[in-house]
Structure 1
Amino acid sequence: MSGCVICNKPLEVEIEHNSDPENENGASSSSKALAAAPETVPDDVQLTCGCHFHWDCLLSAYEITSCPNCAKDIATTGDGVQKVLCTLNNEGGLQEDLDILPLLTEESYLKAYPEDRKARAFLEFCREGDYKAVVDMLLDDEVDETEADAEGDVEMSCTDHPEKELGIDRMLRYQDPIGDMQSGLHAAVQAQSREVAWLLLLLASNLPLLDFPPQVFQEAEAMGIMRGLTEDKIDIRSLRDENGKTAEDIAREVGGVWVGWTDNSRLAI
């Protein structure tokens, strides 16, 4: 095994370093950094067929369940679940029998539908309950997909054709076609993130404004966010996953922080 079967380069990658700070004498150490040999770490994905790849090279060439080099079937089935196992050696160390099929499936989907990349990133932040990242993504679209009022608030009213354009409306109501058709609200409920759930309800549901705690409005106002027109759009609470479950159904199963919510039907239409 001499290198990656795609690019034929060694199975390693250089590590980028930030600019070196000045040393105690006030002199820059950049000259020492330039003189030193670049630091490298392993970057080796070995499939069950025996072929070795750089991770990026595999992503750019794979066929999901067959090796892009030798064409052998690399899929296995265990416990009724299909997997693509590999031995991965990278900066994090050596991992054997690692299932990379979910990552390969997602990359395959994004190859076919690159316009969904932003919506999938948004959904992932909802899954992580990362409120700040969710807000940042919404505000990043403000130039193209929002209207500002006289005070500079961002009104979340977007494209009239969410099926054709990737805008805020589509991000808010996006359902994962390779992840059980879950919406951001499903994901926020499973992550037990009240903050993300309140934000999605504010921007993508018809839940009466009187049902929102004052703190939700205070935080939204501080970020310059306000609800746009929602009556002519799909209420995010009505979206169902591939098992026919709404976010309310998931909340009843999860329990915990959602007990009061399900009692008050905040997640139901």
Structure 2
Amino acid sequence: MSVCVSCQKPLEVELEPDSDTEDVQMSASYSKAPAAAPETVPDDVHLNCGCHFHWDCLLSAYQITECPSCGKNLSSTSPTGDQQVLCILNNEGGLQENLDILPLLSEESYLKAYPNERKCRAFLEFCREGDMQAIIGMITGDSDDEDEDEEMGDDDNAGTKDVGIDALLRYQDPIGEMQSGLHAAVQTQSREVAWLLLLLASNLPLLEFPPEVFQEAEAQGIMRGLTEDKTDIRSLRDANGKTAEDVAREVGGVWATGWIGNGRLAI
């Protein structure tokens, strides 16, 4: 088996045992029976220069478009004219050939340079996925940040707790076309998330909100604070100069009759 050029270990990773497996292992240890061998899956990033890495080892050593081991240029041009870094990826999800990993590598490189934005980008991803509970957890401080902090380590976590709620709600992704959470929610048709963001980060008159929004907010212990002196999230424009309302007009769907001049979402 080939080994990772960075750590010189086999190109595989052990799976975390689930609770049932842990119980079996505990029983085996008490009964002096031999413990089962840990289950492993492939973890092999085969770059076009010929070098093999574990995914985490590659992220730790990655240099933009250059192999951190042999120094060969990894970039090529896609059919659309964009830069790409193709590889053969073999992991728990199976074998993928000609996979462009440049977006992931660029994101990780950016977050290594600006670790305080890791929380903001996680927030945007939750908006994109429509994960209301995760969003509310981040807003109320009732998320699993402490557990995540321990997993990330001190260097990766530097500055992540300095992001205020107002900045989180109005964050625009510098490597994601300057989208805000509202852009992301509208683009993926996450109407509940859009309403929540409008409640917390816009000056939309409260009379414009449907009763269901207030009922849900009250159940979650969420209230609108002062917004008059803050940037209205509806005014934020992405890298293409579009507001979330502009995006809503383009995507249609649940927004087909939803945004009417003053930014109100239909129900």
Q: Please, what TM-score do these two structures have when normalized by structure 2?
A: 0.86
Contact in 2 for aligned 1:19/1:30 (Cα 8 Å): no
Residue 247 of structure 2, aligned match among 229, 242, 250: 250
CA apart distance, 1:64:
2.4
Secondary structure of 1:171 counterpart: helix
Pair 1:17 & 2:17 matched: yes
Contact in 2 for aligned 1:48/1:86 (Cα 8 Å): yes
Secondary structure of 2:256 counterpart: helix
CA distance in 1, matches of 2:70, 2:254: 51
Contact in 2 for aligned 1:84/1:100 (Cα 8 Å): yes
**Residue pairs, 1:178-257, within 5 angstroms:** 178-257=175-254
Indicate the residue corresponding to 2:137 in structure 1.
136
Number of residue equivalences: 245
Deviations 1:5-52 (A, max 9, x none): 1100111111111233799xx996443896111111111000000000
Query: Amino acid of the residue matched to residue 232 of structure 2?
Result: D
Pair 1:44 & 2:44 matched: yes
CA distance in 2, matches of 1:213, 1:135: 19
CA distance in 2, matches of 1:227, 1:201: 10
Which ranges of 4 or more aligned residues in structure 1 deviate by more than 6 Å? Answer: none
Secondary structure of 2:99 counterpart: strand
Indicate the residue corresponding to 2:89 in structure 1.
88
Query: Amino acid of the residue matched to residue 247 of structure 1?
Result: A
Query: Amino acid of the residue matched to residue 121 of structure 2?
Result: R
CA distance in 2, matches of 1:84, 1:221: 47
Query: Amino acid of the residue matched to residue 44 of structure 2?
Result: D
Indicate the residue corresponding to 1:155 in structure 2.
none
Distance 1:22 1:228, change over 3 A: closer
Secondary structure of 1:227 counterpart: coil
Secondary structure of 2:45 counterpart: strand
CA apart distance, 1:259:
2.2
Secondary structure of 2:258 counterpart: helix
Distance 1:252 1:22, change over 3 A: closer
Contact in 2 for aligned 1:49/1:74 (Cα 8 Å): yes
Indicate the residue corresponding to 1:4 in structure 2.
4
CA distance in 1, matches of 2:118, 2:28: 37
CA distance in 2, matches of 1:99, 1:9: 24
Contact in 1 for aligned 2:43/2:91 (Cα 8 Å): yes
Pair 1:166 & 2:195 matched: no
Deviations 1:75-125 (A, max 9, x none): 111121111111011111111101111100110110110000000000011
CA apart distance, 1:195:
0.1
CA distance in 1, matches of 2:240, 2:233: 16
Farther-moved stretch of structure 1 (168-177 vs 256-265): 256-265
CA distance in 2, matches of 1:4, 1:28: 32
Secondary structure of 1:181 counterpart: coil
Secondary structure of 1:121 counterpart: helix
Deviations 1:43-79 (A, max 9, x none): 1000000000000000000112110001110011112
Question: Which structure 1 segments of 5+ residues have no match?
Answer: 143-163
Query: Amino acid of the residue matched to residue 236 of structure 2?
Result: L
CA apart distance, 1:224:
0.3
Secondary structure of 1:35 counterpart: coil
Contact in 1 for aligned 2:2/2:52 (Cα 8 Å): no
Pair 1:108 & 2:109 matched: yes
Deviations 1:149-174 (A, max 9, x none): xxxxxxxxxxxxxxx94111111000
Identity fraction in percent:
73
